[in-house]
Amino acid sequence: MIALTAVPFAPEHKGMVSGFACGNEPWAREAEAWIKGKLKRDGVYEAMKQGVRAWLFFTPNDALVGFGSLGTAKMHYPYEVPKAKLVNLIPSLAVHRDFQGGPAGAAPGERFSDQIVDFLITEARTTALLPVLLLFVDRDNARAMHVYQRAGFIHWPERPSDYDQGRNPCRMIVSLVDNPSE
């Protein structure tokens, strides 16, 4: 297995991510814009001001494989509770197109994408101490949905407000505690 190294993202890494590309699909272009800080209100730099932590992931040869991020959001979890609770959130995550599905010959669970997701789950479990980890994925992004399902994420019912700006989101959630009813 080729193990990735996580490096906390900082503004001085801007040059490292300037050529980051993960595909031509709308969700890929949005992830690229997020890490490059090109989104006016939702880019990595604005997110970090709100407490989001982000990491770059490198091979042993210092090739940039991808990035992942972790923050929090207030959500009604479960929906029936009247007061919103704080939950962990993965605001953005992507694997560079040259490394998608890799490394070659890796078993599911050892792929670069799995390593990044596992890192974020572990980080959420050990530092945020909140009961769940939530993410949004475009329901047309089948490859990403499979990665999240392998990591234990399940679909969480959507609300009509999830379908803003022409997006096609799917909420996915994973419990971070041994007893999910906590």
List, for residues 6-46, the tens digit of each pLDDT value: 999 998 999 999 999 999 999 999 999 999 988 767 789 99
* DSSP E strand boundaries for 23-176: 53-58, 64-75, 85-90, 93-95, 132-138, 154-156, 169-175
User: Model's pTM, two decimal places?
Assistant: 0.89
Among residues 49, 126, 128, 59, which one has the least CA distance to residue 88?
Answer: 128
Q: Identify the residue with better confidence: 148 or 162.
A: 148
The continuous run of DSSP H or E covering 40 comes out as: none
Check if the beta carbon of residue 60 is closer than 8 Å to that of residue 7: no
137 beta partners? 170
Ranges 40-44, 79-83, 163-167: which has the least confidence? 163-167
Q: What is the pLDDT of residues 139-155, one digit of tens each?
A: 899 999 999 999 999 98
**What is the tens place of the pLDDT at every residue in 113-138?**
999 999 999 999 987 667 889 999 99
pLDDT for the residue 161 = 53
Q: What does the pLDDT read at residue 127?
A: 79
pLDDT tier for residue 94 given thresholds of 50, 70 and 90: very high
Residue 79 has pLDDT above 60, yes or no: no
Q: How far apart are CA 64 and CA 111, in angstroms?
A: 15
What domains does the chain contain, in order, with CATH numbers?
5-175 (3.40.630.30)
What's the mean pLDDT when you consider all of the chain? 87
In the beta sheet, which residues pair with residue 98?
none
pLDDT of residue 41: 72
Q: Residue 108 — pLDDT band, cuts 50, 70, 90? A: confident
